Structure 1
Amino acid sequence: MTKLGRLYSMFDSVRLPDDLPYTQVSSWELRFLYLVGRHTLSGEGRVVELGSGGGGSTYALALGLKESPVFDERTGRLHAYDFFRVGKGTFATEKFFTSGHRPAHDNSFLDDFRGRLEPFLPFLEIHAGDLWQTSDPDDTTPVEFLHVDIAKTARVFRCVCERFLTRLGPGSVVLHQDFAGPRLPWLHWSTGALLPYIEIAGPPIRSTLAFEVTRPIPEDVLKSVSEDVYTLDEKLALISAVQDRVDRDHTGGIPFKSVLELSKAYVAHYAGEHRRAWSLAKPLTSDEYLARTRADHFEQLRKAYEAQPGTASRLKRLVRGR
């Protein structure tokens, strides 16, 4: 069992403050972040959070670091990356503002974030803006911990790969917070590519998959992931390998085998193979969890399929004059 796996038995011992900053991360994930900071991190390598949002996850992790017997606040740093503003392409919500809504003529909630994280500012380093601009391409400092809650697009994920995954080594801990998101298949097939070099901690913690690097990751593997060189069929096979390792989340609520199957449909969708995407997605419409939580995903894939020239449904619409 990895050091991460031992944390599952400690969930009930965690008591976080009731007034944590607003976050879209579940209470289970917040407790896990606290436990990682409290029991596994030394601060000797970089501790990095990509996608800090309103600060709830940052607060939980920072609190764990502050209460750690080995983390030295004088030398250790928690690096928080985010746009820290609302607007197109940021995937942020106005609830990240202290008032709950955006003030007139101000898109930035950076000051709100600083105010909420005030107890930890002595060891918190904030990087505000586009990740491609705020991360250093020449920084090779080893990354001890990486919380990824920012890879909402393939463009951003490439930056994560090139500038952070390349700095992982044996003992590094990674948390993919969006692992229950079928529209982010790069998280899934890239994990499949890394399987020979990592150990998954256990069942996902709600939507977060946690793993520890156990062997050096070859440069050519990292390059293949960052440059997205895998074929459609190779990506589907890599996701299947993850399905062999991951079933439901630790509460039993999220059926990850089904989620990852829908992720395969999005691999085909993004490749322009809409017929194949719908053939993968259609059987999943009877899955209770997906039907309840991902109806918009099925609609998107179905519409793309029907808009493809030569499909029967498109021909029927043309005949009806629609």
Structure 2
Amino acid sequence: MSNLARLFPLLDDVQLPDALPYAQMSEWELQFLYLLGRHHLTGADALVELGSGGGGSTYALALGLRENPRFDEGTGRLHAYDFFRVGKGTFASEKFFTSGAAPEDGNSFLDDFQTRLEPFLPFLEIHAGDIWRTSDPDDRTPIEFLHIDIAKTARVFRCVAERFLPRLRPGAVVLHQDFASPRLPWLHHSTGALLPYIEIAGPPIRSTLAFEVTRPLPEDVLRRIAEDAYTVDEKLELISAVQERVDRDHTGKVPFRPVLELAKAYVAHYDGQSERAWKIAEPLTTDAYLAETRADHFAQLRKAYEADRPAPSPAAPESRLRRLVRRAVRR
């Protein structure tokens, strides 16, 4: 059993505050964050949350840290990264505002976030803005905990891969919060590349995959992940390796093997191979879970496939001789 697996039996006993800030994740995921802070993390190295949103996940983790006798609030630091605003490219919800909607004079919910997290501000460092600007490319401080809920685009994931993954050491904990999203296949094939050096905690907690680094991460592997240097075929093989390790989530409701198969289709789709993408995706349309929850994914892939199909050749004009023959036959 992994060090993290011992937390799973404790999930049902966690009682989080009723007034927990809004979060775009399940109660189980919030409970797991609390348990990590309360029973596993120490704060000896940096604790990093990429994509803090409205503060629900930050609050659950920080509450656990505050109740952890091994965590020193004077020296331990929880780093919260986010745009802290709504708008194009931020993937943020207006529910992150206390009022539930953005005010007419601005689109930043940073003040709301700080108010909600006020009890934990002494050990919380907030990094507001584009992660390429708010993260330090020269920072080599080891990371003990990395919560990735920000890699909604390949551009952002490259920043994560370049500036945060190399700072992981054996014993570090990583959470991929969007692991049930087939449109983010970089999460899946990068995990496949890391499999020899990590231990998956157990079944995903709803959409979140948790793993612990068990061996030093090789520089060449990290470089290939950051530079997206794997071929399409290699990426599909890496995702297949993850499928062998991950089945359903801990509630039994999310079937990760077909979810990851659909992620393979997006690997091909992003590479411009629309026919190959649809060939992978079409058999999955009969999967009950995907048909109910990912209909828009199938529509997107089918549309791309049909748009790229060559148009049928126009019929050649009938020759005068052929018309005469056809008339003669009719007689």
Whether the TM-score (by the shorter chain) exceeds 0.5 is yes
Partner of 1:245: 245
Give aligned-pair identity as a percent.
76
Residues in 2 aligned to 1:31 and 1:300: alpha-carbon distance in whole angstroms = 34
Q: CA deviation at 1:2?
A: 1.7
Asked if 1:72 is matched to 2:62, the reply is no
Q: CA deviation at 1:315?
A: 3.8
Partner of 2:49: 49
Residues in 1 aligned to 2:105 and 2:275: alpha-carbon distance in whole angstroms = 45
Which amino acid is 1:239 matched to?
Answer: I
Q: CA deviation at 1:105?
A: 1.9
Partner of 1:195: 195
Asked if 1:24 is matched to 2:24, the reply is yes
Residues in 2 aligned to 1:159 and 1:280: alpha-carbon distance in whole angstroms = 29
Partner of 1:211: 211
Residues 109-164 of structure 1, C-alpha deviation per residue, up to 9 Å, x if partnerless? 00000000011001000000000000000110000000000000000000001110
Q: TM-score, normalised by structure 1?
A: 0.97
Q: CA deviation at 1:309?
A: 3.6
Q: In terms of mean alpha carbon deviation, does 7-16 or 192-201 score higher?
A: 7-16
Where 2:181 maps in the other structure, the secondary structure is: coil
Residues in 2 aligned to 1:48 and 1:145: alpha-carbon distance in whole angstroms = 6
Residues in 2 aligned to 1:194 and 1:113: alpha-carbon distance in whole angstroms = 33
Residues in 2 aligned to 1:206 and 1:309: alpha-carbon distance in whole angstroms = 37
Residues in 1 aligned to 2:187 and 2:102: alpha-carbon distance in whole angstroms = 31
Which amino acid is 1:72 matched to?
Answer: D
Where 1:239 maps in the other structure, the secondary structure is: helix
Residues in 2 aligned to 1:68 and 1:224: alpha-carbon distance in whole angstroms = 37
Which amino acid is 2:307 matched to?
Answer: A
Partner of 2:328: none
Partner of 1:226: 226
Which amino acid is 1:252 matched to?
Answer: G
Residues in 1 aligned to 2:135 and 2:40: alpha-carbon distance in whole angstroms = 25
Partner of 1:137: 137
Q: CA deviation at 1:251?
A: 0.1
Q: TM-score, normalised by structure 2?
A: 0.94
Where 1:43 maps in the other structure, the secondary structure is: coil
Partner of 1:307: 307
Where 2:216 maps in the other structure, the secondary structure is: coil
Residues in 1 aligned to 2:14 and 2:75: alpha-carbon distance in whole angstroms = 26
Partner of 2:122: 122
Divergent runs of 4+, >2 A: none
Where does the alignment leave 5 or more consecutive residues of structure 2 unmatched?
Answer: 316-331
Residues in 1 aligned to 2:163 and 2:13: alpha-carbon distance in whole angstroms = 35
Partner of 1:264: 264
Q: CA deviation at 1:69?
A: 1.1
Q: CA deviation at 1:15?
A: 0.7
Residues in 1 aligned to 2:262 and 2:277: alpha-carbon distance in whole angstroms = 9
Please tell me the root mean square deviation across aligned C-alpha atoms, in Å: 1.1
Asked if 1:296 is matched to 2:293, the reply is no
Residues 30-69 of structure 1, C-alpha deviation per residue, up to 9 Å, x if partnerless? 0000000111111010000000000000000000000001
Partner of 2:156: 156
Q: CA deviation at 1:3?
A: 1.4
Partner of 2:182: 182
Residues 9-33 of structure 1, C-alpha deviation per residue, up to 9 Å, x if partnerless? 1112211001100111100000000
Residues in 2 aligned to 1:79 and 1:282: alpha-carbon distance in whole angstroms = 42
Which amino acid is 1:117 matched to?
Answer: L
Asked if 1:235 is matched to 2:222, the reply is no
Partner of 2:278: 278
The alignment of Structure 1 onto Structure 2 pairs a total of residues equal to: 315
Residues in 1 aligned to 2:82 and 2:13: alpha-carbon distance in whole angstroms = 30
